[in-house]
Structure 1
Amino acid sequence: MKKLLPLFALVALSPAYAATPEETAREVLAKSPIIDGHNDTPHQIAELFDRDFSKFNLSALPADVLAKTHTDIRNARAGFLGGQFWSVYVDAALPKHEAVTRTIAQIDVVRQMIARYPENFAYASTAAEVERAMKAGKIASMIGMEGGHSIGDSLEILRQTYALGARYMTITHSLTTDWADSATDAPKHDGLSPFGFDVLAEMNRLGMIADISHVSEATMHDVLDKTTAPVLFTHSNARAITPHPRNVPDSVLKRLPQNGGVVMVTFVPGFTSPERRQWEFERSAVAGRAKTEFSGNPVGEKAAVDAWIAANPQPKATLAQVADHIDHIRKVAGIDHIGIGGDFGGVDELPVGLENVSTYPALFAELVRRGYSKSDLAKIAQGNAIRVMRGVEKAAGK
């Protein structure tokens, strides 16, 4: 006579009691909270509050402020944020000395933020410190400089920003520098200049991650040709899905397995949605024509652009489109080369379903629906980013 399964076993085996995608996502993120590669809240603190921490409480921001920062502690906790590279951003067009000064001021903003909320944030400069902070229930807080202009063409300043805590530097921002070509400016060096290679070598020696978001395709390849350590794209998507110069072409994605680097998929609408990218391109063309047609008549110029926008509503990016980029990167580079770099606080608008830092689990639930395993989710959430940090430290002999 066959033994009957106990009732609790039958319940566990019943499809009706299978975990939902949302439950699976939350289960994984509870064990492997997200490490995000790029968040511009420090910039928002400078812009909205002039770096005065007495003017706000980051524990829970009012709705109008949260609409700009997309980040406060309450929502970060709800979103299972375990580690954050806080962006140290200053305008790429600043004179060199001013860019350096403001970069140091922004590093101070991050340091103050961590110090003022010690029950939630813990400064981390190594992979081991990140893991230790998360184990203690804190949000591991790292510093990333967004743009090579931040060092004022000086290896000495590079070394000192590392000493102050910066653990990655984006090789360029929106403008080409004296030593590296940007994705969104005219090229001058066909990638890196000789001094650019010196900067990269010094970053490798220090143990500072080379972030190759924002750089031209030629610069991406130059970095991959010469770096001795894994790289990050801290906030970029797949160019094959959305043909924006800020995104990563397949020619570069194919090289990531050899390098060990990671693309931290971003939520910027124009990098995410092909329709949004095309709309932005057409709007720019309309604005250019209006500027010529209504030269000296700013009212007429604005009216022409506004009329075009009214007739051509702006498309919205979606959470599913972010997942499409993850799918493509997995197909070309592999699951070990994907992370998350939302760019919260750095954009005026976000994809539907990803409006602030509380929404990470919704993206991971979508990946569950697409067949990603728990192991896959853990790698995307944090495992791949920690591996890059360890690889950079190993290459530096640390």
Structure 2
Amino acid sequence: MWTSWWLWPLVAICTADEFREQAERIMQGTPVIDGHNDLPWQLLTSFNNQLRDARANLTSLAHTHTNIPKLRAGLVGGQFWSAYTPCDTQNKDAVKRTLEQIDVIHRMCQMYPETFLCVTSSEGIRQAFQEGKVASLVGVEGGHSIDSSLGVLRALYHLGMRYLTLTHSCNTPWADNWLVDTGEDEAQSQGLSSFGQSVVKEMNRLGVIIDLAHVSVATMKAALQLSKAPVIFSHSSAYRLCGHRRNVPDDVLELVNQTGSLVMVNFYNDYVSCRAEANLSQVADHLDYIKKVAGAGAVGFGGDYDGVSRLPSGLEDVSKYPDLIAELLRRQWTEAEVKGALAENLLRVFEAVEQASDHTQTPEEEPIPLDKLEGSCRTTYGYSGAPSLHRPPGTLLASLVPLLFSLYLL
């Protein structure tokens, strides 16, 4: 036996090729739907969303994790593109910035129609699969993007938003973010305020997927218990394997299982290994663990490409998805389980969200209380308790008399 030791590397290579070939075969029929990609943010920060800049050509864009050749090599068939604007836009120009990011996603589809098909439904995703295009959907990352307005929420839905991440790395006036669990932020809503509950109900009514990446554990539990439809974590991993507060703890994974919800595993090293370095095998460990605790139907992929600074070895860009699928097959995942993780689990959740929607139902209308809003540039139209902006002549002078008299006495 010892004389044939040299055969083992050849056997390993042949076996690896077999799993890789099997992965590609499966993905030809069931391409991956990724839950979160920040390419639109790269287009903003590098080119100010000027897609006709020669350097922004998506067929040759070199410095990003994502371009058209890499998407093709990775057999990516569906992508939630992140319409992201940072927390420092809250109470400022968050809505404007979000609209611009939605616009650039639509313009990607218009400029590269042979590659991208902008869709807004589960049926649209299936159509894109049939046409061999990347189904392109809008995910708005951060509840501050709606500026605490149900009207803005509805407007973004009409512009194509199909998931909303309830917070980013900051509280909104109606929901708490993950930094509450680290002690860096103080809880304001104890999960969801009454207005936050209205946001969740309105998302259910509209057919917008609730995304719980970036939220506090209390917000996770509140939304999972309130929502009439399954929810997603568009780019989060397993807390038990990496104790980062952006990840999902076991008791929440159990709720994910009970509600038919979905955790789309994040590839960011800090959420995979809790260190600067990570590898493909460790990402597969997270997929294994979520499957074990929450079930095979709870697993998906949310790579966070172009939104992170460090990625695992073996998963350096979007072209590497077949290698990860090959690793799952090597770990004896069945073909049905792999197809679920690739696309079918997300499609099931999306269809359930669509079925739970009801546009004949009366929309949520009660606005957030005025005292919950901040920002010196904010107007107060519509709030009955707010000072009138059209005061009778002499009102301002009359209001100044007591102040002037007090100054005179000094």
Q: Give the TM interval when normalised to the shorter protein.
A: 0.7 to 0.9
Matches within 5 A, 1:70-219: 70-184=65-179, 185-219=185-219
Determine the structure 2 residue equivalent to 1:25.
23
AA of the residue aligned to 1:373: T
Cα displacement string for residues 154-210 of structure 1 (whole angstroms, at most 9, x for unaligned residues): 000000000011000000000011000000233211100110000000000000000
Contact 1:96/1:150 (<8 A) preserved: no
SS at match of 2:200: helix
Give the SS at the match of 1:35: strand
Alignment partner, residue 301 of structure 1: none
CA contact (8 A) 1:239 1:250 kept: yes
Give secondary structure in 2 for the equivalent of 1:241: coil
Does residue 241 in structure 1 map to residue 241 in structure 2? yes
Percent of pairs with identical residues: 46
Describe the superposition over 1:111-155 as per-residue Cα deviations: whole angstroms up to 9, x where unpaired.
Answer: 111110000000110000110111111100000000000000000
SS in 1 for 2:228: coil
1-structure distance, mates of 2:16, 2:164: 44
Query: What is the CA-CA distance between 1:21 and the residue it aligns to?
Result: 1.1
Answer 1 or 2: higher relative contact order, Cα 8 Å, separation at least 6.
Answer: 1
- 8 Å CA contact 1:100, 1:151 repeated in 2: yes
* Paired position in structure 1 for 2:308: 347
| TM-score normalised by the chain length of structure 1 | 0.83
- Structure 1 residue identity aligned to 2:257: P
Q: CA deviation at 1:257?
A: 2.3
Residue 254 of structure 2 corresponds to 254
Q: Which amino acid aligns with 1:46?
A: L
**SS of the residue 1:149 aligns to:** helix
Provide structure 2 residue ranges, at least 5 long, that are not aligned to the other structure. Answer: 1-13, 180-184, 360-410
**Structure 1 Cα separation of the partners of residues 111 and 295 of structure 2:** 39
Work out which of the two has the higher radius of gyration on C-alpha atoms and give 1 or 2. Answer: 2
Separation in structure 2 between the aligned mates of residue 61 and residue 18 of structure 1, nearest angstrom: 30
Cα offsets for 1:284-329 (capped at 9, x unmatched):
xxxxxxxxxxxxxxxxxxxxxxxxxxxxxxx411111101101110
Partner of 2:229: 229
How many Å separate the matches in 1 of 2:135 and 2:117? Answer: 5
Change (3 A) 1:384 1:17: closer
**Alignment pair present for 1:322 and 2:283:** yes
C-alpha distance in 2, partners of 1:18/1:84?
Answer: 27
- Equivalent residue number for residue 48 of structure 2: 50
For residues 186 and 368 of structure 1, what CA distance do their matches in structure 2 show? 43
CA contact (8 A) 1:51 1:109 kept: yes
TM-score by length of 2: 0.81
Tell me which of 307, 312, 317 is aligned to 1:356.
317
Secondary structure at the aligned position of 2:345 is classed as helix
Task: Figure out how many residues of one structure are paired with residues of the other and give that number.
Answer: 339
How much has 1:17 moved relative to structure 2? 9.0
1:59-74 → structure 2 map (5 Å cutoff): 59-62=59-62, 65=63, 69-74=64-69
CA contact (8 A) 1:93 1:175 kept: no
Measured after TM superposition, the shift of residue 397 of structure 1 is 3.9
Partner of 1:269: 269
Counterpart amino acid of residue 140 in structure 1: A
Letter in 2 for 1:372: W
Q: CA deviation at 1:19?
A: 6.8
* Contact kept? 2:90, 2:145, Cα under 8 Å: no
Q: Deviations over 1:4-55 (max 9, x none)?
A: xxxxxxxxxxxx8997111111111111000000000000000000111122
**Superimposed CA distance per residue, residues 348-394 of structure 1 (whole angstroms, 9 cap, x where no aligned partner):** 12111000010001111111111111111100000000001100000
- Cα distance between partner residues in 2 of 1:238 and 1:198: 29
* 1:263 partner letter: V
Residue-by-residue CA offset, 1:48-78 (whole Å, 9 max, x unaligned): 001111222101223xx2xxx2000001000
C-alpha distance in 2 between matches for 1:210 and 1:150: 14
RMSD: 1.3
Match of 2:342 in 1: 381
In the other structure, the counterpart of 2:299 is 338
Give the secondary-structure state (helix, strand or coil) at the position aligned to 1:60: coil
Q: What residue is the counterpart of 1:369 in the other structure?
A: 330
SS of the residue corresponding to residue 96 of structure 1 reads coil
Q: Is the 8 A contact 1:81 1:139 kept in 2?
A: yes
For 2:313, what is the secondary structure of its paired residue? coil
Moved over 6 A (4+): 16-19
